[in-house]
Structure 1
Amino acid sequence: MSHLACLLTIFVALSIVAIQADHEAQLRAGYDKMKCHKGFVGKFSPLMETTVKNCNAKSISSYFCYAACWETGILCYTNGAFNDTARHIDLMDLFDPKEPESKKTVDGWVKEATICENAAIKSGLKVTDDYSGECKDYEELGKCVWKPRKCP
């Protein structure tokens, strides 16, 4: 490989890393501007980290705080059913319990996410035990969840 080809390869690789970092920064900045969910601590789970790095910014940027809740809930779906106890515990980990609106927010999210999750499953979408967070799967499962959501 020529020196020029090596340099171009390195440049492209560094550009991809920079784009991913910028992408995450944009999402976090978008959440900071929204201020629509008091109590949400902005924590990314490992699956959300993967999704943020791989998905198109326009698909989740305004709603990623809610998408994190959806994504956390869907991980509690195994063997054709949700483990509601585990889901509630995992969802609460996304919130700062000292904030006064946390319980109201998480209760609302559980209710809304349950409606959307059930609708997705009834429509024939399958959630496998080894759900990978691939963008196409995430987009399909999340259409009902974050795209129609409005924040004040």
Structure 2
Amino acid sequence: MNAPAAYTKPLPLIDDLNRPFWAAAKAHELRLPQCGSCGFIRVQFERWCPRCGSRDVRWPRLSGRGHVWSHCTFHRKYFPEFENDLPYNVALVELEEGPRLITNIVGIDRRDIRIGMPVEVSFDDVTETVSLVKFRPVPGPREGDAA
């Protein structure tokens, strides 16, 4: 049996501010910082809330559901580590809870991604310590199926 190939793409720089996000992803949970004062959920890993300035930060588990807010396809090699993936999609997913995450949509041909398409979180375990947050289409009836 062959060992899996080593992951050669850039990995996140994990620090004290984003460690809860990456620990949750490794546990296959989606968590983002939420202000304990005003309730604002954000994707920025800062020590304070950009809305009210509070330093009271919580890390609730989110639903992992949302929809494609925008997307594009990279056809050019901007980053050498991704050359073998060309063309690949980059999407902006708006979560049910409000924040928007830059991600990839997996489990679908890039040409079939649509704005507004419902998606759910998926985790890509790329190393023993890092799982990347991606999204996949929500299974459901296809066009033309009887209701």
TM-score strictly above 0.5: no
- What's the TM-score once normalised by structure 1's chain length? 0.24
Structure with greater strand percent: 2
Structure with greater helix percent: 1
- What's the TM-score once normalised by structure 2's chain length? 0.24
